[in-house]
Structure 1
Amino acid sequence: MAGKGAALAWRVVGLGSAIAAGVAARKVAVTGWKLATGSQPPVNPEAPDVSVGEAVGWAVASGAIVGVARLLATRKVADYWQRSTGALPPGMEKVTP
């Protein structure tokens, strides 16, 4: 794949994998929160009636889980792309130590 077609294909594949990972990770975060606290996570952590501790806890836990899941999904898809096409996805640079 080359040029604009490859760039568009990567955007679609990369975005799709990140969205799917985010949705799955959110479900994991909600389940983990329920197991850890015995209650549902706050629906709106910004609301004044939610304690600061609960709001910050939910933001940190869910953000970390979703962020890591999206990172891992994008890396996996980029690896598949590279093995399939012989090149890194458009816009992704090779990191050299």
Structure 2
Amino acid sequence: MNNTPKIIPHNPIYLVKSKDCGYDSISEEEWNRRKKIKKGMQQSIKKMGRPSKIDDETLKKAYGKWLSGTLTQKQIAEILGVSERTVNRKFKKLRER
């Protein structure tokens, strides 16, 4: 007879913070499910909000025209069909980069 012990696979248990100021144990399946949900939420955050009317290339060209003094922000806003405030905000973000 073979007296070697059998290795029984186990499910790892993960500890997570609970709402009640303590920790709960969860199974590996639940851990993986929560990781997938978290990843999906992080990816969807990037897509939130209204899509921009001005693409990056157009914005950079307009910014160059404004810096050179060829066009004012008001003129750029009229050409692009957005408000002057939007142009101002986009230019401010460009300056911060």
TM-score, scaled relative to structure 2 = 0.31
Task: Choose between structure 1 and 2: higher helix proportion.
Answer: 1
TM-score, scaled relative to structure 1 = 0.31
Task: Choose between structure 1 and 2: higher strand proportion.
Answer: 2
Max Rg structure: 2
